[in-house]
Amino acid sequence: MKKLDKLILKSFLGPLILTFSISMFVLIMTFLWRKIETLIGKGLEFSTLMELFAYAAATMVPMALPLSILLASIMTMGNFGEKYELVAMKSAGLSLWRVFRPLIILSVVFSVIAFYFAGWVIPAADLKTKQLAADIKDKKPAINIRPNEFYTQISSYVIRIDAKDKNTNKMYGVLIYNHSKDQGNVEVIKADSGYMYSAENNQTMIFKLYNGEVYSEEVQQEKYRTRPLTRIAFKEQVLRFDVSDFAMAESDEDKYSDSYKVLGVKKLYTRIDSLKTDYANSRQGYINFLMRGLAVPDNAANMQKSIAVNDFYKDYSSLDSDKKAQTDKFAKDYLFHLSEEYNNRLEIDKFDKSYIDRHWIEFYRKFTLSVACIILFFIGAPLGSIIRKGGLGMPVVVSIIAFALYYVIGMMGESSAKGGSMSPVVAMWLSSVIFLPIGIFLTLKATSDSKVLSAENWQKIIEKLIGKIKFKKLKT
C-alpha cells in the first residue's frame, strides 16, 4: 500500500469512527427514550441493561453506517480541498478517481459488513431485544417501601412505615396488613422497628421485626358475628414473602421467532415462497367454491349442471305466485350470502397480500442498507471535493440534509408498499434509484472539474437573475 493510500485512509477513518460513534449514541439514546417508562423503577441489574443496549446497538449498525460514510467522506474530501492537498494531488498527475480508489474499496468492505449485519446479526439481535424488552416490561417494579405511603405491590399484603434510616435501612413504625386469607383485613402486624432484605436469589423477601404485636380475628361460619380477637406480643419475628413474580423470567424465543423481522435472508425467502403457495391454493379453493355455488360449468364434463339449471327455470315458470315468491326469496338470500362471502374473501386476500409484502420489504431491506453505503459515498466524496470545507460545520449540514432526504424517500416508499399502493421491490429501491444518478452526476462533474457545481459560478448566476429582475421592475 502506498503512502498516499495510507494518508487517505487515515484521514477517512478518523471522521468515520467519530461520526459512527455519535450516530450510535444518538440512536441508542432514542431507543432509551422510547423504553424509559419500562426501565424506571424495575431495579434492573447493570448487566441486564448493558445486554439490552448491546442487542439494540447491533440492530442500529446498518442505519448508522451509511450516515457515517456520507459524513466522513464529505469531511475527508472537504479537508483535502480546504488545505489545498487535493490541488497538490491533481498537480502531481493523480486523477480524482485515483484519490477515491482506497475509499471506494473501504466503502465496499463496509457494504459487505452492513449486509452481513442486516442478513444475520440483526435478526438474531432483534429477537433477543424483543425477548429481553418483553421480560423487562413484565417485571414488577423493585420493592421500594417509602415512609408514610401504603405499599401494595406484594400480593395480599399492604405495608406502611413511618420512617427509614438511609444509612442502615432500618425501618421504624412498621405496619403490615395481611389479606392472604381472602377474608378481608383480619390480621394486622405492628412493630416498633425492623429490617428488610432478600434471599434465595431474590425470590423471597424477609422482614425481621422487633418489639411488636399481632392482631388477628378468627372468622368462623358458626361464630361469624362474634369474631374473637387475638393479640400476641413479640420481641422478634421473621416474616417471609414470596416475591418470585418480581424477578425477570426468561421468555420463550419461539414466541417471537415467527416474526418476519427476526428472519434472515434465506429463511425470509423460504417463508415467502411458502406463503405464496398457500395464498395461491387458498384463492383457487375459493374460486372453486364460488363456481359450485353459482353452478357455472368450467368445462364440457360439467355441462350437465347447466342443463339442470335450465330445467329449473322451465319448472319455475309453471309455479304459482306463492312458490315463485318463496323461490325468489331463497335466491336473493343465497346471492346475498355469496356476495358477503366474496367481500370477506377480498378482505382476506388483501390481508394475505399485505402480509407477504411485509416479508418482501424486510427481504429487500437487507440489500438496500448495504447498497446505501456505496451510493452515499459517491454523493459525499464529490460533494466534499466541491464544497472544500472540512470540520463539523458545512459537511454536517449537507450530510444531514442528504441523508434525511434519502431516509424520508425510503420511508415514503415503505409506507406505500405496506398500504398496497406500490410494489415492495420498487418501494424499497426507490431511494437508491433516485440517489444513484445523483451520485454518478456529482462524481462525473467533480472528476472533470466542471464549473457547473462551482459555488462562484452559482453565485454569478444568482446575481444575474437578481439583476434581471431589478431591471424589469425598473423598466416597468
d(CA 372, CA 188): 67
Instruction: Show Cβ contacts of residue 209 under 8 Å, excluding neighbours closer than 6 positions.
Output: 174, 189, 191, 193, 194, 234, 236, 237, 238, 239
Cell numbers standing for residue 205? 423477601
- Min mean pLDDT across 142-151, 184-193, 281-290, 450-459 is at 450-459
d(CA 309, CA 288): 18
What integer pLDDT is reported at residue 306 of this predicted model? 43
pLDDT tens-digit profile of 260-269?
Answer: 777 778 888 8
The residue extents of the domains of the chain are 1-139+250-476, 157-246
256: confidence class by pLDDT, cuts 50, 70, 90: low
d(CA 209, CA 173): 10
pLDDT tens-digit profile of 155-180?
Answer: 778 888 888 887 887 889 989 888 87
* Closest listed residue to residue 402, CA positions, set 425, 375, 365, 368: 375
Which amino acid, residue 174? V
- The residue-averaged pLDDT of 79-86 equals 83
Please, are residues 175 and 163 in contact by the beta-carbon 8 Å criterion? Answer: no
d(CA 411, CA 417): 10
d(CA 116, CA 62): 10
pLDDT of residue 438 exceeding 60, the answer is yes
What integer pLDDT is reported at residue 205 of this predicted model? 80
- Min mean pLDDT across 243-247, 259-263, 275-279, 469-473 is at 243-247
pLDDT of residue 310 exceeding 60, the answer is no
pLDDT of residue 307 exceeding 50, the answer is no
pLDDT tens-digit profile of 141-161?
Answer: 556 788 888 887 777 788 888
Contacts 24+ apart (CB under 8 A), 253-262: 253/127, 253/131, 255/131, 256/127, 256/130, 256/131, 256/134, 257/127, 259/127, 259/130, 260/358, 260/359, 260/362, 261/123, 261/126, 261/362, 262/123, 262/124, 262/126, 262/127, 262/130
- Whether the CA torsion 444, 448, 450, 454 is positive or negative: it is positive
What integer pLDDT is reported at residue 435 of this predicted model? 92
What integer pLDDT is reported at residue 375 of this predicted model? 92
* Single pTM value for the model: 0.66
Beta partners for residue 162, in sequence order:
none
Residue that the C-alpha cell 434465506 belongs to: 266
- The residue-averaged pLDDT of 4-12 equals 87
Please, are residues 239 and 209 in contact by the beta-carbon 8 Å criterion? Answer: yes
Cell numbers standing for residue 321? 305466485
Calculated CA dihedral for residues 280, 281, 286, 287, nearest 10 degrees: 70
- The residue-averaged pLDDT of 370-391 equals 84
In this structure, are strands 229-242 and 187-199 parallel, antiparallel, or unpaired?
Answer: unpaired
What integer pLDDT is reported at residue 455 of this predicted model? 55
Q: Which helix (H) or strand (E) holds 238?
A: strand 229-242
* 143 vs 377: which has the higher pLDDT: 377
What integer pLDDT is reported at residue 302 of this predicted model? 45
d(CA 155, CA 178): 10
What integer pLDDT is reported at residue 354 of this predicted model? 86
pLDDT of residue 292 exceeding 80, the answer is no
d(CA 470, CA 475): 9
Look at the chain and count its residues: 476
pLDDT of residue 340 exceeding 50, the answer is yes
CA 32 to chain centre: 13
H-type alpha helices, 40-121: 46-82, 85-91, 96-116
Average per-residue pLDDT for the chain: 78
In the chain, the N- to C-terminal Cα span, in Å, equals: 66
* 455 vs 235: which has the higher pLDDT: 235
Cell numbers standing for residue 279? 395464498
Which amino acid, residue 277? T
Cell numbers standing for residue 238? 421473621
